[in-house]
Amino acid sequence: MIVMKFGGTSNEDAAAMRNVIRLVKNHIDEQPVVVISAIAKATNELELTARTAALGKEDEAIAIVTRLFERHNTIIDNLLVSRSVASELEGIFFHHLAEIKALVKGIAILRELTPRMLDAICSYGERLSSRIIAAGLLEAGVESEWVDARDFMLTDDNFGRAQPVLTAVEVNLEKEIRPLVAQRKVPVTQGFIGITRSGEYTTMGRESSDYSASIIGGAMNAAKVQIWTDVDGILTADPRVVKSVKKLKRLSFEEAFELSYFGAKVLHPRTMLPVIEKNIPVQILNSKRDGTGTMVDFHFDGNEEQPDAVRIKSIAHKNDIAVVSIFPRKRFSPYMFWEEIFNVLTAYGITTGMTATSEFKIAFAVDETTVSEGLVHELEKFGSLEVLHKKGSICLVGKGMRGAGGILPRIFQTLPDFQVYMISFGASDANITLVIDDECLHEAVNNLHAALFEHDELPGMFEELPH
Ligand code: ASP
Ligand code: MG
């Protein structure tokens, strides 16, 4: 079996849903389990409903959510031919709207929105969209069956960022989903949401439908997990910054990890964890344009025929970086000093993708927004601080870089006029990261892209994008 996950823009209206149905039919021989996100913007609107209610504006909140339900009913009307199926769904949705109105009333009276209430309201997005897709598939002659995530996706009760209880989820999937697959049915379920032991809906964090897909794929040993989205796959750079981007045919998990960590909007690192363990490939595909997408899998190590070739595959960049340097006040022993500094960072929930140390001094690059007064105050207990603002990072990703001797000169040749504040190279075999001035970031990324990707040194690795 495979998992096919469709994101919000893949479900935005009846035409988009018809396309989802077409894609599922195309893959029917691979025995898909379908994971659905809420329709485009639905989660935002549900969240807005809840937050508006918390301000005591009950009528306004109800108006927002009523419009959202009307949008769903329009999709039903435009998608489904059978009036009886359509009105059955509309009946269920009417009931759901009444449930939300009751929640809104409670929130508006108390003027308090707990994470539990927010999850209860946000869960409806996926619950509605998944039902429409399941009905649409049935009507299109696919034996689909709607399965509520509450029947298998057991999570803890960290509302808003719930974690699945994997052992239980695995057992539940064998009971609830596997038999359907065995009967050649197509189960349709929701991403994003889960259920606590006491039966309350949870959500696993915004944009976590991919994570749901990967949990299901991992637990059921899927042949692969397909993430159907609105981009052609993983690209050589951000297309908003570089015009001539190409698509990568294949990437390793490690490379995808580095890319997403350093700012590329590809797969969330968390999404990859459940499938990495089982060595299950993840394919990123555009639901609006036929193509082969990008395959992210395990031991892909560049181009086997050219083992010495430089294998930079993609450039990620991030704005709004600050470089913080600390000079120890007292003569701490080096590791005491490091320990104290990292304890402070941990206490503030800060991870830094980049650190540099000299004999005593420590420098690290962090998101500008994390440099709070409190953090500065805590760090100043251990030494004097220098904070450089308005920096940006560029991360060049590609496995096998450490062995590729010529790569550093090539990179620096393209950046002769840029001041470089930090470099990280060597900790991972798959990335080189530089910190430069934020205002030069786009120019530098374009220079690097031209130097590294214009001549296709690794035939077969990239694909031009269709226009
Ligand atoms: N619908 C949820 C969100 O918008 C989950 C997802 O789309 O992945 O955050
Ligand atoms: Mg989404």
Q: What is the pLDDT of residues 149-168, one digit of tens each?
A: 999 999 999 999 999 999 99
Ligand 2 centre to CA of 413 (Å) is: 40
Q: Are residues 221 and 128 in the same domain?
A: yes
Q: In the 3-class helix/strand/coil scheme, how is 74-98 assigned residue by residue?
A: HHHHHHCCCHHHHHHHHHHHHHHHH
Percent of the chain scoring above 90 in pLDDT: 74
Q: Are residues 201 and 345 in the same domain?
A: no
Cβ neighbors of 270 (< 8 A, separation 6 or more) are: 208, 211
Decide which of 230, 248, 265 is a domain's last residue: 230
Ligand 1 centre to CA of 227 (Å) is: 13
Of ligand 1's listed atoms, the one at least distance from the Cα of 44 is 4
Q: Which of 60-64, 91-95, 308-312 is least confident? A: 308-312
Which is more confident, 314 or 298? 314
Ligand closest to the CA atom of residue 204? 1
Q: Are residues 222 and 315 in the same domain?
A: no
Q: Are residues 225 and 332 in the same domain?
A: no
Of ligand 1's listed atoms, the one at least distance from the Cα of 212 is 8
Ligand 2 centre to CA of 227 (Å) is: 11
Pocket test of ligand 1: the residue of 192, 211, 267 to mutate, having most ligand atoms within 8 Å of its CB, is: 192
Total structural domains within the chain: 2
**Per-residue pLDDT at 457:** 61
Q: Are residues 445 and 315 in the same domain?
A: yes
Q: Which of 68-72, 83-87, 217-221, 244-248 is least confident? A: 244-248
Of ligand 1's listed atoms, the one at least distance from the Cα of 7 is 7
Above 50 in pLDDT, residue 302?
no
Q: Are residues 16 and 150 in the same domain?
A: yes
Ligand 2 centre to CA of 76 (Å) is: 20
Which is more confident, 30 or 230? 30
Of ligand 1's listed atoms, the one at least distance from the Cα of 38 is 1
Please report whether residue 351 resides in a domain: yes
Percent of the chain scoring above 70 in pLDDT: 94
Of ligand 1's listed atoms, the one at least distance from the Cα of 205 is 9
Answer yes or no: are the C-beta atoms of 153 and 87 closer than 8 Å.
no
Within 13 Å, how many C-alpha atoms sit on residue 282's CB side?
Answer: 36
Question: Which of 137, 132, 176, 180 lies closest to 153 in space, CA to CA?
Answer: 176
The span from the CA of 275 to the CA of 260, in Å, is 16
The span from the CA of 9 to the CA of 93, in Å, is 21
Pocket test of ligand 1: the residue of 35, 209, 227, 229 to mutate, having most ligand atoms within 8 Å of its CB, is: 209
Ligand closest to the CA atom of residue 41? 1
**Per-residue pLDDT at 392:** 96
The pLDDT confidence band at residue 303, using thresholds 50, 70 and 90, is very low
The span from the CA of 391 to the CA of 21, in Å, is 45
Ligand 2 centre to CA of 436 (Å) is: 32
Decide which of 205, 230, 255 is a domain's last residue: 230
Decide which of 230, 254, 281 is a domain's last residue: 230
Which is more confident, 331 or 147? 147
Answer yes or no: are the C-beta atoms of 160 and 115 closer than 8 Å.
yes
Q: Are residues 210 and 88 in the same domain?
A: yes
| Residue 314 domain boundaries | 308-464
The pLDDT confidence band at residue 465, using thresholds 50, 70 and 90, is confident
Q: What is the mean pLDDT of residues 377-382?
A: 93
Q: Are residues 76 and 189 in the same domain?
A: yes
Ligand 2 centre to CA of 358 (Å) is: 43
Q: What is the mean pLDDT of residues 171-182?
A: 98
Q: What is the mean pLDDT of residues 283-296?
A: 92
Which two tokens mark 115?
């994470």
Pocket test of ligand 1: the residue of 43, 202, 265 to mutate, having most ligand atoms within 8 Å of its CB, is: 43
Ligand closest to the CA atom of residue 9? 2
Closest C-alpha residue for ligand 1 atom 2: 207
Ligand 2 centre to CA of 131 (Å) is: 17
Ligand 2 centre to CA of 13 (Å) is: 14
Which 3 state secondary structure label does DSSP give 321?
strand
Of ligand 1's listed atoms, the one at least distance from the Cα of 8 is 7
List residues near ligand 1 (CB under 6 A).
7-8, 37-38, 43, 125, 191-192, 206-209
Ligand closest to the CA atom of residue 208? 1
Closest C-alpha residue for ligand 1 atom 7: 207
- In whole numbers, what is the pLDDT of the chain averaged over residues? 92
Question: Which of 27, 24, 35, 2 lies closest to 140 in space, CA to CA?
Answer: 24
Ligand 2 centre to CA of 41 (Å) is: 8
The pLDDT confidence band at residue 403, using thresholds 50, 70 and 90, is low
Which is more confident, 463 or 446? 446
Q: Are residues 18 and 148 in the same domain?
A: yes
Q: Are residues 48 and 195 in the same domain?
A: yes
Q: Are residues 190 and 321 in the same domain?
A: no
Above 80 in pLDDT, residue 416?
yes
Of ligand 1's listed atoms, the one at least distance from the Cα of 209 is 8
Characterize 293-324 residue by residue with b for buried, 16 or more Cβ atoms within 10 angstroms of its Cβ, and e for exposed: bbbbbeebebbeeeeeebbbbbbbbbeebbbb
Which is more confident, 403 or 191? 191
**Per-residue pLDDT at 456:** 62
The pLDDT confidence band at residue 434, using thresholds 50, 70 and 90, is very high
Closest C-alpha residue for ligand 1 atom 8: 207
Ligand closest to the CA atom of residue 191? 1
Q: What is the mean pLDDT of residues 200-220?
A: 97
Closest C-alpha residue for ligand 1 atom 5: 207
**Per-residue pLDDT at 389:** 97
The span from the CA of 245 to the CA of 231, in Å, is 12
Q: Which of 168-177, 192-201, 361-370 is least confident? A: 361-370
The CATH number of whichever domain residue 452 belongs to comes to 3.30.2130.10
The CATH number of whichever domain residue 77 belongs to comes to 3.40.1160.10
Ligand 1 centre to CA of 38 (Å) is: 6
**Per-residue pLDDT at 254:** 86
Ligand 1 centre to CA of 343 (Å) is: 33
**Per-residue pLDDT at 431:** 86
The pLDDT confidence band at residue 405, using thresholds 50, 70 and 90, is low
User: End-to-end alpha-carbon separation of the chain, Å?
Assistant: 33
Above 90 in pLDDT, residue 462?
no
Dihedrals φ, ψ of 323, to 5°? -110, 120
Which two tokens mark 264?
């590329």
Q: Are residues 319 and 216 in the same domain?
A: no
Find the DSSP H helices in 111-149: 115-139
- Cα separations in angstroms, 248 against 21, 173, 283, 290: 26, 33, 11, 15
**Per-residue pLDDT at 10:** 94
The span from the CA of 21 to the CA of 2, in Å, is 15
Please report whether residue 285 resides in a domain: no
Q: Compute the chain's Rg from CA coordinates.
A: 24
Above 70 in pLDDT, residue 305?
no
Ligand closest to the CA atom of residue 5? 1
Please report whether residue 151 resides in a domain: yes
Q: What is the mean pLDDT of residues 199-227?
A: 97
